[in-house]
Structure 1
Amino acid sequence: MTPQEWIAHDPDPVTAAELAALDPAELAARFARPLTFGTAGLRGPVRGGPDAMNLAVVLRVSWALARVLTDQHLGGSTVVVGRDARHGSAQFAAAAAEVFAALGFSVITWEHPVPTPIVAFAVRCTGAAAGVQITASHNPAADNGYKVYLDGGLQIIAPTDREIEAAIAGAPPADEIQRRPVQPSDDALVDAYVAHAATLRRTTRGKPRVALTAMHGVGGELAVRTLHAAGFDDVHTVASQFTPDPDFPTVSFPNPEEPGAADALLELAAQVDADVAVALDPDADRCAVGIPAADGWRMLSGDETGWLLGDYILSTLSPEQSAASVVASSVVSSQLLASIAADYGARYVATLTGFKWLARADAELPGHRLVYAYEEAIGHCVDPEAVRDKDGISAAVLICDLVTHLAAQGESIPSTLDRLARKHGVHTTAAVSRRVADPGEVAAMMTRLRTAPPAELAGFPVHAAEQADAVFLTGGDRQTSVRVVVRPSGTEPKVKCYTEVGQVVGTDLADARRRAAAVQETLLQAVRNW
């Protein structure tokens, strides 16, 4: 379809006018690279053209998804459609629902925004053929996205993603795609999610004081409601960030991992003398944790939270249950979970980056079931039987439960991290990202690392290897291990470098941590110069 044909058939007069006003060079650029399915679906800026999120793109993608489902003999099945509160989300979700309805599918949707885990839960709970969530998760305010679930609430993988993209190429002009109004559903599935998530609590006594922020997203009200249902009713929220706001006015970047993003949360936690702090990202599928430490409050890394939750979940299982259990983390996450799993006799699986892979970690292990999966980017799947994706709200329930459990034993999160380090060695992790303006820069950097990898890192000879789109650099000796994984981001225009240092602990844990930190800084300095 030529740019002129696209403009003539754009059903949104705003984006049609925007495209018509562009100079030829910029117009050509908009049509050079249509959106494709990345790590977590389609994502792009809200504007006109096939390389962005707009009404025309949503209509054609929905038509294409419906065509693929029909080709798989799933025509007339149920499709779940949800949305966050970003710019364009309400319009895009309504349009998607109307396309599915017009093509004969039964549609479950809601008048109001819902966290992404609700859609994953609803698809799995109802046996729906597919689910669509309109969201860009923690991306900048200008972005939106289209996330697709199939197969019991799992994110799509190849070849389905490529099949949908091929169908998009053959989709009718956007204004010719039929639509039929859809009656919104009630909140029965939302209520069922809350009731189920509340049952994840293992302890029966104790009520930690919780500080929580929704980061201007859609998870605040439901998170508080779920925590209350689980018996955690001493919850204090960051008022300035509680109500959904697509402009994210109090943070420069709506990602709890970003420096400064959790400042308001930690200030509240200190003010109310909380026991734990929880930050959800804007669509509530990710959860960051803050804890009181000797020198004030600090945020845990995604890896630290992953170690804690993995250890806690496995500790609640019998030896027989552990032997049939699987825990997983992504290849860019810390390797410590593997040691924790081995200690309990459970299976550990390292998957490619993204929960579309993590959620399938037990797929080729008959007789085993996934009990926990995480990625370093604060994504945690603590209830795979109900939600086969990362879920910040259920993770918050389990974090509060862990804090309660530890307090009853006279322990804390810092002391538990110390225990894990003494048993499995000190592990430090850190990441460096390089944003680029041109995707060609990403390809050039990855090519350099594949063809001429560094010979040493932090003084250790390096072994280089490749897996999928990532380059792995590893080295070390009997006391220290170093690891760097470099890969292009699947959701943003940048290259990510993930570093990890492992250090054997002798009699002095503090000294082991100092030595690991020194090696880590040397690694980071080298990575920044690539």
Structure 2
Amino acid sequence: MTDPRDWLAQDPDPDTRAELEALLAAGDSAALADRFGARLEFGTAGLRGELGAGPNRMNRVTVLRAAAGLAARLRAEPPRGGVVIGYDARHKSERFALDTAAVLAGAGLRARVLPRPLPTPVLAFCVRHLDAAAGVMVTASHNPPRDNGYKVYWGDGAQIVPPLDAEISAAIDAVGRVDELPLGDAWETLGDDVVEAYLDAVTALPLGDARDVAVAYTPLHGVGRDVLLRAFERAGFPAPFVVAEQADPDPDFPTVAFPNPEEPGALDLAVDLARARGADLVIANDPDADRCAVAVPDGPGWRTLTGDEVGGLLAEHVLRATSGADRLLVTTIVSSTLVSALAREHGVRFAPSLTGFKWIVRSGTGRLVLGYEEALGYCLGGDDGPPVHDKDGVGAALAVAALAAAARRAGRTLLDLLDDQARRHGLHATAPLSVRVADRALITAAVDRLRAAPPDALAGRAVTRVDDLTAGADGLPPTDGVRLFLDGGARVVVRPSGTEPKLKCYLEVVLPVGHAPVADVRARARADLDALKTALAAALGL
């Protein structure tokens, strides 16, 4: 266990110093053990955790150490355009970004900081645009307000993967006291020209020429609003109606329980605004604007589309707007299998990937025109591939608006397009089952039980095959998880979340439509998914 007093002696932050001094004075051994009995692990997701004092929290000492480890690893790289650093509007984000710049400058590396809080995809774009050796984004994405994080990108503009993460982690472990690190002040603050370059790139995506669409938009108190509004204007779309209560960046996210557009209730204010203004669709970004959620009118109410439904629609959109047999569609092994059917139909390439865009953008061979994951992340490309080698909630919002405008011009809706796909390929219906726990050990135990003794059947469907993903599957690297195939084209994947204390399960059923009304088939699919959820929860024992 790290000595709290040694930590206190090198901590430059008065807030966490005061927190730690109070805990020491109170003799709160449980709180001290929680902060100092473990440390945040640096991995392929970088760092992410609760703000506070100690090595098991996000704070200035943790960030200074991470920056010093990154600097040490970068000194082994050929000289390039330095490191680009971005940050969102969360608590301490700007401070962590500037600390990173100071450490890199002190190590003799060129550090360039984005001009203000900006979306994560802007940072990812800038790494390649500026020919940087690496990038750092200070963000916790859609995590609760008390969290922050630290994502590292390499020179290809994508998040790091093994073994690079382990190499940086080892370099972090070798860092001594942070109050002895050489710090510099010769970093560069970039201008708005980098944002302009990003806007030029995303508005050059395949967007067609239909523009008549009314959008209600929420950035969920994050940093997406200004960039998205500029992108819509530049692409020729009408200005979206913005949810006033969620328009400005606010690190406390006061109007939502979790600032995640996947969470129930997160889109309620946007749907209310859409009803009031007669909008055609709702678009939401998460706080760092790398994800995009969509809701559409459905009879008297509104329906939030799943990430898989949006992914299927965007796949057909880009395939109809591009050409060439070298085109590539990529989605993860936990996402819908519909995209592989669309690739076969259009005569283009398809590749599966592990979860996470660090894998999606590196999977398969060919020209990536769409990479997506069911968790509302989309990466679109045109003739030259994707301008952002990561998920991009702004580019995805433009493409969804273009698709909705084209459907509207033809007298149709996004729901009509989904029905078309179901008639051609069968209804691919997916649903998540997530279990949030206080003790991560419960997650490990549940997955181990499933791996060791999988059920013979779930919800009346026989289990026909079990894949232990730690052994690798589909030619992919090993990952922690279990995949079950069931009779009738159903599938279940169970894995621990890489960023939150959650067990995440992904369910899919595929039902033929034939001449039946698609609405009736959807109702049967919902019932099947509900039954699978119940059976799986029982099998997991959580």
TM class by shorter-chain length? Answer: over 0.9
Contact 2:81 2:131 survives alignment (8 Å): no
Of residues 237, 245, 251 in structure 2, which corresponds to 1:246?
251
C-alpha displacement of 1:201: 4.7
After superposition, residues 8-87 of structure 1 pair within 5 angstroms as: 8-22=9-23, 23-38=28-43, 40-74=45-79, 77-87=81-91
Contact 1:208 1:234 survives alignment (8 Å): no
Contact 1:77 1:105 survives alignment (8 Å): no
After superposition, residues 409-488 of structure 1 pair within 5 angstroms as: 409-462=410-463, 463-467=465-469, 468-476=479-487, 480-488=488-496
Cα RMSD for the two superposed structures: 1.5
CA distance, structure 1, for counterparts of residue 348 and residue 484 of structure 2:
27
Of residues 186, 200, 203 in structure 1, which corresponds to 2:205?
200
Letter of the 2:355 counterpart = T
Of residues 123, 132, 135 in structure 1, which corresponds to 2:127?
123
CA distance, structure 1, for counterparts of residue 16 and residue 145 of structure 2:
18
Aligned to 2:273: 268
After superposition, residues 372-383 of structure 1 pair within 5 angstroms as: 372-383=370-381
CA distance, structure 1, for counterparts of residue 160 and residue 215 of structure 2:
35
Of residues 232, 235, 239 in structure 1, which corresponds to 2:240?
235
Letter of the 1:474 counterpart = F
Aligned to 1:179: 183
After superposition, residues 343-422 of structure 1 pair within 5 angstroms as: 343-362=345-364, 365=365, 368-383=366-381, 384-422=385-423
Deviations 1:427-447 (A, max 9, x none): 111111111111211111111
Contact 1:207 1:234 survives alignment (8 Å): no
Q: Secondary structure at the match of 1:430?
A: strand
Contact 2:44 2:159 survives alignment (8 Å): no
Task: Give aligned pairs, total.
Answer: 519
Q: Secondary structure at the match of 2:75?
A: helix
CA distance, structure 2, for counterparts of residue 196 and residue 356 of structure 1:
20
C-alpha displacement of 1:379: 0.4
- In the TM superposition, structure 1's runs of 4+ consecutive aligned residues that sit over 4 Å from their partners are none
Contact 1:488 1:495 survives alignment (8 Å): yes
Q: Secondary structure at the match of 1:156?
A: coil
Contact 2:103 2:183 survives alignment (8 Å): yes
CA distance, structure 1, for counterparts of residue 297 and residue 429 of structure 2:
19
Aligned to 1:522: 531
Q: Would the alpha carbon gap of residues 233 and 514 (structure 1) be closer, same or farther in structure 2, given more than 3 Å must change? A: closer
CA distance, structure 2, for counterparts of residue 492 and residue 404 of structure 1:
36
Contact 2:292 2:394 survives alignment (8 Å): yes
Aligned to 1:94: 98
CA distance, structure 2, for counterparts of residue 205 and residue 523 of structure 1:
40
Deviations 1:127-147 (A, max 9, x none): 100000000000000000000
C-alpha displacement of 1:28: 2.8
Contact 1:39 1:490 survives alignment (8 Å): no
Contact 1:80 1:107 survives alignment (8 Å): yes
C-alpha displacement of 1:24: 3.1
CA distance, structure 1, for counterparts of residue 425 and residue 401 of structure 2:
24
Aligned to 2:142: 138
Q: Secondary structure at the match of 1:306?
A: helix
CA distance, structure 2, for counterparts of residue 77 and residue 70 of structure 1:
13
CA distance, structure 2, for counterparts of residue 112 and residue 510 of structure 1:
47
Structure 1 unmatched ranges of 5 or more: none
Letter of the 1:484 counterpart = V
C-alpha displacement of 1:227: 0.5
Larger mean CA deviation between 516-525 and 4-13 belongs to 4-13
CA distance, structure 2, for counterparts of residue 325 and residue 333 of structure 1:
19
Letter of the 2:8 counterpart = I
C-alpha displacement of 1:176: 1.4
C-alpha displacement of 1:38: 4.7
Q: With the length of structure 1 as denominator, give the TM-score of the two structures.
A: 0.95
CA distance, structure 1, for counterparts of residue 261 and residue 252 of structure 2:
16
Contact 1:207 1:231 survives alignment (8 Å): no
Of residues 330, 341, 358 in structure 2, which corresponds to 1:328?
330
Deviations 1:182-233 (A, max 9, x none): 3412111111111221222532243211111010000101101111100012
Contact 2:432 2:507 survives alignment (8 Å): yes
Q: Secondary structure at the match of 2:167?
A: helix
C-alpha displacement of 1:3: 3.2
Contact 1:421 1:427 survives alignment (8 Å): yes
Letter of the 1:146 counterpart = Y
Structure 2 unmatched ranges of 5 or more: 470-478
Contact 2:259 2:287 survives alignment (8 Å): yes
C-alpha displacement of 1:359: 1.1
Larger mean CA deviation between 345-354 and 24-33 belongs to 24-33
C-alpha displacement of 1:245: 0.2
Q: Secondary structure at the match of 2:482?
A: strand
CA distance, structure 2, for counterparts of residue 140 and residue 14 of structure 1:
19
Contact 2:105 2:184 survives alignment (8 Å): yes
Of residues 472, 491, 503 in structure 2, which corresponds to 1:495?
503
Q: Secondary structure at the match of 2:250?
A: coil
CA distance, structure 2, for counterparts of residue 71 and residue 330 of structure 1:
32
Q: Secondary structure at the match of 2:40?
A: coil
* Identical aligned residues as a percent: 47
Q: Would the alpha carbon gap of residues 317 and 73 (structure 1) be closer, same or farther in structure 2, given more than 3 Å must change? A: closer
Aligned to 1:157: 161
